[in-house]
Structure 1
Amino acid sequence: MLRLAIFLSCLGGQLLADVVVATRTIRPQQVITDMDVRVQPGTRPGAHSDLIGVLGKEARVAIYPGRAVMRDAVTAPALVDRNQLVELVFAKGPLHIITEGRALGRGGTGDRIRVMNLSSRAVLFGTIVSNGTVDVTP
């Protein structure tokens, strides 16, 4: 009995841990739903342990059935795709300029991407805002 207690204390609670695993192949850029993943007992360093951190996120790489969903394998879903037409917003003081542009990269809220102003053909950097516009204010 003493040996069992020592063994369990050495595990440090790992017996009660859970890991999120894929139930089917999840392709890159696919938004993860509850049909794609499940929680199973086990441990894996760097893997998600609850569904909250995975559901609604987008896969960065392919995740195969039975494999643990690692933390760096998912990210916030992209709002802007490459070559998508976007609204460019420049706002400084009382000056507000809004024009149309083309995204030269892909990203989600807060990501910095390159965009091309369709009027001047100038290439700028901007930050994606939660409504899908790109803020090009320096």
Structure 2
Amino acid sequence: MQNAFVCFLFGLVLGADMVIADTVVPARPIRAQSIIAETDLALRGGDLANGFQSIASVAGQEARVVLYPGRPILIGDIGPPAIVTRNQIVQMRYENSGLHIVAEGRSLDRGAVGDRLRVMNLSSRATLVGRVMQDGSIKVSK
């Protein structure tokens, strides 16, 4: 009987030290490619290794997939808002050893700053790969 009481007290002490973190979940359905607002989010008890614990870290991001109410938002489900859309006319920039080439292209993908995407040169119809820059241009690599 005494061992059971000691185990019970030990469990209370351990339980007092354990803190359960909150996980960010959608408060309503959020469509893919939508910008997430603070009012779209809620906190639910429970800690998830690849989830978010604060609403501030999710608000302002873009949903990459459909987010359903009550389900935890995972790291891969959201990202920075896209600034280049598919079929958008963009400036392609190539720089190498002092050579600078600028041409118009059509974006074949959608992307945020830093994303790699395909772009088609409007003059030659060649498909190239580049990285989205802050100003919305595409820095083409070799």
TM bracket (short chain) = 0.7 to 0.9
How far is the alpha carbon of 1:10 from its aligned partner? 5.8
Amino acid at match of 1:60: R
Residue 110 of structure 2 corresponds to 106
- Of 6, 11, 14, the residue aligned with 1:9 is 14
Q: TM-score, normalised by structure 2?
A: 0.84
Q: SS of the counterpart of 2:14?
A: helix
Q: TM-score, normalised by structure 1?
A: 0.87
The reply to whether residue 129 of structure 1 matches residue 133 of structure 2 is yes
Gaps (5+ residues) in structure 2?
none
How far is the alpha carbon of 1:120 from its aligned partner? 1.3
How far is the alpha carbon of 1:137 from its aligned partner? 3.5
The structure whose Rg is larger is: 2
Asked whether the 8 Å contact 1:14–1:43 carries over to 2, the reply is no
How far is the alpha carbon of 1:40 from its aligned partner? 3.5
Q: SS of the counterpart of 1:6?
A: helix
Gaps (5+ residues) in structure 1?
none
Residue 60 of structure 2 corresponds to 56
Q: Give, in whole Å, the separation in 2 of the partners of 1:99 and 1:85.
A: 10
Q: SS of the counterpart of 1:52?
A: helix
The correspondence of residues 1-138 of structure 1 with structure 2, limited to 5 A, is 3-7=8-12, 9=14, 13-15=18-20, 17-138=21-142
Residues 106 and 124 of structure 1: CA distance in aligned 2, closer, same or farther (over 3 Å): same
Cα-to-partner distance string for 1:102-134 (whole Å, 9 max, x where unaligned): 001111111111111111111111111111100
Aligned residues: 137
**Following superposition, which runs of at least 4 residues in structure 1 exceed 4 angstroms of deviation?**
none
